[in-house]
Amino acid sequence: MSKKLILLFLLSGFFAIGQTKNNSKSETYTGRKGIYEIKYNPEHWIQNPQSENWDAEFHDKYNLVNAYFIEYDYFIPEKKLKSTIEEQYKEYGKIKNLKIFKKKLNNIEVNYFTCELDYNDFLYKYQGYIYNGKGGSIQLQYGGQAESIEQNQNTINELDNGISIIN
């Protein structure tokens, strides 16, 4: 009986080590200023090596949700958050149901937003955050058809929680 318990204990230890190694699969994107980094799971998010308007672009493994990250060389005041977000989408149409609220991500308090946009008879949802910190503001936003955002919310939350300030 005691040999079985020891064997069971050893096997459970091996399984725990195997699971830890599996969960440690992550890659890190470091912002151009070296202030922020985003840890992400490459099985869930793929970084686009070429981006024209953003510092970094990611998409989920099915290419249904896109994520965009940028570091600004200025600060976006809280009173201009709404107009800044509306300005980003104006060429695609008028956004609706814009909500901005405080949210804590990895001990960083950000101004999180959600909104919708009707574009070519499809409903798109966008969400993300703007944070004023060292070196200016940063923004990480997600976009996709409404259904894809809803179905991939856990994956979005995972990338959200990957942000951290490099000390």
Residue 19 has pLDDT above 90, yes or no: no
CATH number for 26-165 (one of 2.60.40.10, 1.10.10.10, 3.50.50.60, 3.40.1000.10): it is 3.40.1000.10
Give mean pLDDT, residues 62-91: 95
- The per-residue pLDDT for range 130-144, each reduced to its tens digit, is 999 988 999 999 999
Give the tokens for residue 35.
Answer: 């202030």
Q: Give the strand pairing for 27-30 and 36-40.
A: antiparallel
3-state class of 68 per DSSP?
strand
Mean pLDDT of the residues in the chain: 87
Q: Which of residues 1 and 97 earns the better pLDDT score?
A: 97
Query: Residue 128 burial by CB count (10 A; 0-12/13-18/19+): exposed, middle or buried?
Result: buried
Instruction: Yes or no: say if 130 and 139 are a contact pair by the CB < 8 Å rule.
Output: yes
Sequence spans of domains, the chain: 26-165
pTM: 0.82
How many whole angstroms from its chain centre is CA 143?
Answer: 11
Q: What pLDDT is attached to residue 17?
A: 39
pLDDT value at residue 20: 38
